[in-house]
């Protein structure tokens, strides 16, 4: 294992799979303006996803008034500074909306959704290489008394959540508090159909969390099956969807995450539907304290997830959610340390050479983290 490679992540990917983009997302504007961060972004990555500045509430701050400046800056950096691709995240989501949206009637919400999609997608056009058209729509509720097999093609309202984390209260699950469902029951299909009207070349994605696969906690098997069923239903209904985004906010501990084998199997089954797969928000939660052994285990897990993607031709993007550890969104939400690829001084952690090893087509040359 070469721990001091002379090539970068995106350079290594171009040698073995030039269709596989290596990206980063979730940076706030302070990081975007940091010169050291921009240098690392340009060296290692060729895809970029905005954090919050391209979401519904950030762009349409008041009803019918659109603000593109910050989202435009992300687009320009991705395309011009990084010479890469701009990934638009996210057109429609239950969260990160303004209060005025919640006060609209169902018909007003429907029309505002249509207007928003037309305005935003027309503004970005083909600059938006891929779009997370709908984000996190599938319910997390686990009912152990309901059999999960056999899988079927879900209807357009089956599996949809009717709550959102509103008002800054995490975990609020009051039925009917979701801005879109059940008030606009076909909002997922509608969003994809409207987006396609205004961009024929953009790749249209559904994006969600806890959907990585099987071989670990039941919650991830149930959620990934629901998303699989829902997407099969969309395809049956001729809804224009090009791919599925799997977020990959993972725990380091083997017993708290899906197996790598289950991850690859899950990626493959979406690919078998003819869809592209993007790993969209990868980070790995490390329980304190930070140790050299945990850094090595983290490096191996990042590399093995990447290998699972690399080995499936229709998995075409691997995106981490943040650049350096100090700026990770996880630090304010959980008791974790150092979840990302770069140290606070922007130097690469052990995960980076391990990932480069995989991207060079050398495979996994160590005992798998699944066997640990």
The DSSP result for 103-142, as a single string, is TS-HHHHHHHHHHHHHHHHHHHGGGEEEEEEEES-B----
Domain encompassing residue 306 = 9-371
Which sign does the torsion angle of CA 124, 327, 285, 333 carry? Answer: negative
Whether 30 is in a domain gets the answer: yes
Evaluate whether 153 touches 232 at the Cβ level (below 8 Å): yes
What 3-state DSSP class applies to 212? coil
For residue 8, CA distances in Å to 46, 151, 206 come to 11, 41, 29
Q: DSSP letter at 162?
A: -
Whether 190 is in a domain gets the answer: yes
- Where do we find the tokens 């304010």? 332
Tell me which of 54-63, 108-117, 144-153 is least confident.
144-153
Number of domains within the chain: 1
Averaged pLDDT, 273-292: 97
Evaluate whether 91 touches 134 at the Cβ level (below 8 Å): yes
Kindly report the CATH number assigned to the domain that includes residue 97: 3.20.20.80
Whether 4 is in a domain gets the answer: no
Q: How many CB atoms lie within 10 A of CB 66?
A: 14
Whether 292 is in a domain gets the answer: yes
For residue 319, CA distances in Å to 30, 174, 302, 353 come to 20, 32, 11, 16
Tell me which of 206-220, 241-255, 285-299, 320-334 is least confident.
206-220
Is-above-0.85 flag for pTM?
yes
The reported pLDDT for the residue numbered 72 is 98
The reported pLDDT for the residue numbered 172 is 57
Length of the chain: 372
What is the rounded CA–CA span in Å between residue 74 and residue 49? 8
Pairing of the two strands 128-135 and 60-62: unpaired
The reported pLDDT for the residue numbered 90 is 96
What's the start-to-end Cα distance of the chain, in Å? 19
Averaged pLDDT, 231-257: 97
Tell how far CA 212 is from the center of its chain: 11
Whether 131 is in a domain gets the answer: yes
Mean of pLDDT over the chain: 94
Strand blocks (E) in the chain:
21-25, 47-49, 60-62, 65-66, 85-93, 128-135, 203-208, 243-246, 249-251, 276-285, 315-321
Tens digit of each residue's pLDDT (9 = 90 or more) over 156-205:
999 999 988 755 444 456 767 899 999 999 999 999 999 999 999 999 99
Percent of the chain with pLDDT strictly greater than 70: 96
Tell me which of 50-64, 214-228, 319-333 is least confident.
214-228
pLDDT of 237 strictly over 60: yes
Output the six-digit token pair for 202: 């953009």
Averaged pLDDT, 224-237: 97
Whether 161 is in a domain gets the answer: yes
What is the rounded CA–CA span in Å between residue 244 and residue 249? 15
What is the rounded CA–CA span in Å between residue 115 and residue 346? 41
The reported pLDDT for the residue numbered 170 is 46
Pairing of the two strands 203-208 and 128-135: parallel
Whether 2 is in a domain gets the answer: no
Whether 77 is in a domain gets the answer: yes
What is the rounded CA–CA span in Å between residue 297 and residue 320? 17
Evaluate whether 40 touches 346 at the Cβ level (below 8 Å): yes
> What is the maximal distance between C-alpha atoms in the chain?
60
The reported pLDDT for the residue numbered 163 is 87
Peptide bond into 289 cis (omega under 30): yes
């Amino acid at each position: 294992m070469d721990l001091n490679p002379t090539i970068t992540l995106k350079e290594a990917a171009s040698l073995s799979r030039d269709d596989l983009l290596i990206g980063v997302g979730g940076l706030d504007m302070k990081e975007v303006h940091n010169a050291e961060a921009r240098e690392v972004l340009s060296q290692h990555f060729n895809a970029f996803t905005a954090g919050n500045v391209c979401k519904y509430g950030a762009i349409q701050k008041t009803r019918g008034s659109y603000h593109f400046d910050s989202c435009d800056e992300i687009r320009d950096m991705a395309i011009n500074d990084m010479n890469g691709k701009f990934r638009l995240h996210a057109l429609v989501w239950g969260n990160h909306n303004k209060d005025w949206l919640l006060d609209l009637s169902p018909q007003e919400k429907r029309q505002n959704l249509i207007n928003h999609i037309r305005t935003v997608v027309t503004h970005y056009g083909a600059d938006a290489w891929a779009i997370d058209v709908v984000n996190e729509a599938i319910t997390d509720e686990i009912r152990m008394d309901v059999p999960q097999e056999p899988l079927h093609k879900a209807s357009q309202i089956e599996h949809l959540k009717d709550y959102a984390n509103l008002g800054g209260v995490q975990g609020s699950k009051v039925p009917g508090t979701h801005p879109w469902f059940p008030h606009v029951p076909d909002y997922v299909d509608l969003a994809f159909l409207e987006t396609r009207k205004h961009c024929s070349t953009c790749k249209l994605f559904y994006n969600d969390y806890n959907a990585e696969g099987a071989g670990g906690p039941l919650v991830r098997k149930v959620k990934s099956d629901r998303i699989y069923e829902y997407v099969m239903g969309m395809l049956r209904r001729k809804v224009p969807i090009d791919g599925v985004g799997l977020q990959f906010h993972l725990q380091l501990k083997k017993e708290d995450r899906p197996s790598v084998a289950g991850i690859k199997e899950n990626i493959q089954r979406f690919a078998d539907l003819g869809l592209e797969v993007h790993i969209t928000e990868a980070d790995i939660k490390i329980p304190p304290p930070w140790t050299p052994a945990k850094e090595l285990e983290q490096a191996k897990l990042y590399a093995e997830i990447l290998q699972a993607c690399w080995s499936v031709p229709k998995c075409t993007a691997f995106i981490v959610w943040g650049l350096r550890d100090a700026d990770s969104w996880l630090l304010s939400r959980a008791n974790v340390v150092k979840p990302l690829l770069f140290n606070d001084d922007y130097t690469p952690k052990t995960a980076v050479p391990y990932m480069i090893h995989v991207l060079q087509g050398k495979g996994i040359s160590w005992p798998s983290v699944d066997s640990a």
